[in-house]
Structure 1
Amino acid sequence: MSTDSGLSLDDSVRAMVLLMPRLIGRAKRLPVPAALRSFDLAPRHLSMLTYVLFDGPLTVNELARRLEVAPTTVSLMVADLSRQGVVERRTDDNDRRRTLVAIADSHRKAIEAWLGNADHGWRTALAPLTPDQRALVIATLRAYEEAVSDH
């Protein structure tokens, strides 16, 4: 395993060009649990489900802020997944005016088994880093996303 320290910019780009397809390929090979295959889940659904899984029930506005999309987009996703029984809307016990989005109990185990691996992988990779180093990794990946989406 290479430590990749002291690489030139060109060598760093080559390393990332090799690494990114591997990361994406591994993520795509995560099998969708049988209990969820019929739901036609898109990547945007997975991001939303991951937030709800890791952080517990959240409001549509909070999900929209985290996903960096409009609340109407999240409302549509929630409506779609709610109709299919994957998520449910619950009244917030602390503020009855608020509605929270939660993973339906009937699908929680399958979603935990499926998306929990991403949590473990990222925690393993990021844990040895300092908070500043973690912020740099995230900023770098965001900058890459912006750069390739501009072209």
Structure 2
Amino acid sequence: MPATPPVHPVSGDPDDTEGLDGAIRTLLLVLPRAVGRIKRLEVPGELREMALAPRHLSLLSFLLLDGPMTVRELADRLEVAPTTASLLVGELSRKGVLDRREDAHDRRRRIVSIPESARPALEQWLAPGARAWRTALTPLSPAERRAVVRAFTAYEAALAESDGS
């Protein structure tokens, strides 16, 4: 009986028949294509003139998915200093993408939210990425999902370390 030839990972077959180097080759092909597709997502007209940057996407995504929160909560989720989160919130508030209001229970705190007028455009812009992740992660077990998240987090950290940021 003839031996079955190994499946080349660049062909798209997810089997890890070539080991670590095969997985790395596949990811080196797939990730730039994914980033290119993300960059080509059309920004809705009402957001285009606001010059929103990638640094805003995580903040906006947290607020869309999790609802209103304090600047401190945003800083914790974004893994940045509260002053950095506050600067981002101020920038987006001036552009009309965020609302800041006083916390009814503690007047020193500010609650940040997405105004209803901005919600449809933001959802339209960010939804394709969320749908793609949902499609990719749904068939996985919770342990497999945690492994994917850990791998992407470690990958980003290694890139940050190599470029000194």
Which TM-score band (shorter chain)? Answer: over 0.9
Identify the structure with the greater helix proportion: 1
Q: Aligned partners of 2:106, 2:127: CA distance in 1, in Å? A: 30
Bigger radius of gyration among the two: 2
Letter in 2 for 1:27: I
Is 2:38 the counterpart of 1:42? no
The answer for the alignment partner of 1:61 in structure 2 is 72
Change (3 A) 1:7 1:90: farther
Any idea what SS the aligned residue of 2:73 has? helix
TM-score (norm. length: structure 2):
0.85
Letter in 1 for 2:87: L
Equivalenced residues, count: 150
Do 2:98 and 2:113's aligned partners in 1 also have CA atoms closer than 8 Å? yes
Q: Runs of 5+ in structure 2 lacking a partner?
A: 1-11
Letter in 2 for 1:82: S
* Percentage of pairs with the same residue: 51
Deviation (angstroms), 1:9: 1.2
Deviation (angstroms), 1:96: 4.5
Is 2:153 the counterpart of 1:138? no
Q: Aligned partners of 1:102, 1:24: CA distance in 2, in Å? A: 28
Is 2:132 the counterpart of 1:115? no
Q: Aligned partners of 2:35, 2:27: CA distance in 1, in Å? A: 12
TM-score (norm. length: structure 1):
0.92
Q: Aligned partners of 1:130, 1:81: CA distance in 2, in Å? A: 37
Q: Aligned partners of 1:140, 1:104: CA distance in 2, in Å? A: 34
Is 2:46 the counterpart of 1:23? no
Letter in 2 for 1:105: E
Q: Aligned partners of 1:67, 1:126: CA distance in 2, in Å? A: 22
- The structure showing larger relative contact order (alpha-carbon pairs under 8 Å, at least 6 residues apart) is 1
Q: Aligned partners of 1:53, 1:131: CA distance in 2, in Å? A: 23
